[in-house]
């Protein structure tokens, strides 16, 4: 018996809520307001954690073990005594999207009511350099989470959100894009996220899981990673003003994008999981810049 199989059996045996179908019991379970966020140390994860805490959730974040500090965006939450008191609370756990046994243990122990899956290798250019790793994390990682939910007997109890991407549209088939626009991914990252999108749909249909995709268009904030174009421009302008560099190197300057703010987009993620029925949604402003 493999370690992963043993954990799956333990989940089914030890889950205090496994097997119930009563609407009253389900309402009691969901009223606990316990959320898991993967990718919590990123731009969206940090804003989502703040938002859920303000709603009275117990927030559990999954972070990767690292020899260097990688929690700068959430350090203020972890250090604030208020996030460890009352109904709202904030906890961090080591985990990885490539480790199914770890994910099963966390889900079985925490018994979340909602899971927000934001973790990914999300840089398009890097996905060409690391295509196998990108697929392992972005595609199979989503499958591992969904399978962990199912293995722990929580398929009809947990609500699951997967952060999808406008990169699915790639070679654009129509303008503007909407939920029914055909996908045409053009990078290893986009292809991996396409698998992630469809495996969410598959588990929703096969296991009646409340699983949703949010197809996110570009969204920015001061917490955006420095390798992305908006931060590259703002940092470049600041360095030019300080005489630290002379010009900014950019790719296609004729590209037009739909830009939004991350703080608003994470609220949309939460709203998706408050619907009566699971579905997939485009999250965008509808404006191009």
Whole-number pLDDT of residue 10: 54
Per-residue CA distances from 244 to 56, 185, 226, 228, 237 (Å):
45, 38, 17, 20, 10
Q: What pLDDT is recorded for position 81? A: 79
The answer to whether the CB of 221 falls within 8 A of the CB of 266 is no
In angstroms, the CA 3 to CA 1 distance is 7
Rounded to the nearest 10 degrees, the angle between the axes of helix 100-110 and helix 140-151 is: 40
164 phi-psi bin (left φ>0, alpha ψ -120 to 50, beta other): beta
The structural domains of the chain, ordered by start, are 3-14+22-221+259-283 (3.40.50.720)
Residue 7 is predicted with a pLDDT of 52
Query: Helix, strand or coil for residue 269?
Result: helix
Whether 167 is catalytic is: yes
- Say what the pLDDT of residue 218 is: 85
pLDDT value, residue 82: 77
Tell me, what's the pLDDT at 210?
A: 98
Q: Is 189 a catalytic residue?
A: yes
Structure tokens at 288: 């191009």
Among 38, 113, 134, 165, the one annotated catalytic: 165
**Residue-level pLDDT at 206:** 98
Q: By three-state DSSP, how is residue 65 classified?
A: coil
What's the pLDDT score for residue 226?
Answer: 62
Question: 176 preceded by cis ω (within 30°)?
Answer: yes
What is the model's pLDDT at position 39?
95
Name the stretches of the chain with pLDDT < 70. Answer: 1-21, 67-69, 86, 221-223, 225-233, 236, 250-256, 289
Residue 71 is among the residues annotated as catalytic for this protein: no
42: DSSP letter: S
Q: Give me the helices (H) in the chain, please.
A: 3-14, 23-30, 43-54, 75-79, 100-110, 124-129, 131-134, 140-151, 188-207, 229-241, 262-272
Q: Is 234 helix (H, G, I), strand (E, B) or coil?
A: helix
From 47, 116, 161, 189, the catalytic residue: 189
Q: Which of 167, 169, 203, 265 is catalytic?
A: 167
Which DSSP letter does residue 22 get?
-
Q: Would you state the pLDDT for residue 80? A: 82
Q: Supply φ then ψ for residue 39, to 5 degrees.
A: 70, 30
């Amino acid at each position: 018996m493999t370690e992963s199989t043993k954990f799956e059996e333990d989940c089914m045996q030890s889950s205090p809520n496994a097997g119930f179908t009563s609407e009253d019991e389900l309402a009691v379970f969901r009223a606990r307001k316990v959320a898991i966020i993967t990718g919590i140390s990123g731009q969206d994860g940090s804003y989502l954690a703040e938002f859920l805490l303000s709603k009275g959730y117990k927030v559990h974040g999954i972070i990767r073990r690292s020899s260097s500090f990688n929690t700068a965006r959430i350090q203020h939450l972890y250090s604030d005594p208020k996030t460890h008191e009352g109904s709202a609370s904030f906890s961090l756990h080591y985990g990885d999207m490539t480790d199914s046994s770890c994910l099963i243990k966390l889900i079985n122990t925490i018994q979340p009511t909602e899971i927000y899956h934001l973790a990914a290798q999300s840089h398009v250019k890097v996905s060409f350099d690391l295509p196998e790793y990108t697929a392992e994390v972005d595609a199979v990682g989503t499958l591992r989470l969904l399978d962990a939910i199912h293995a722990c007997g929580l398929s009809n109890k947990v609500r699951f959100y997967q952060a999808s991407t406008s990169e699915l549209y790639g070679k654009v088939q129509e303008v503007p894009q909407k939920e029914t626009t055909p996908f045409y991914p053009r990078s290893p990252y986009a292809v991996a996220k396409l698998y992630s999108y469809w495996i969410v749909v598959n588990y929703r249909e096969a296991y009646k899981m409340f699983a949703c995709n949010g197809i996110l268009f570009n969204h920015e904030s001061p917490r955006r990673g420095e390798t992305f174009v908006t931060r590259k421009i703002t940092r470049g302008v600041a360095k030019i003003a300080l005489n630290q560099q002379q010009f900014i190197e950019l790719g296609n300057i004729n590209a037009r994008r739909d830009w939004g703010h991350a703080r608003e987009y994470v609220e949309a993620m939460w709203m998706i999981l408050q619907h009566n029925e699971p579905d997939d949604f485009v999250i965008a402003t509808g404006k191009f810049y």
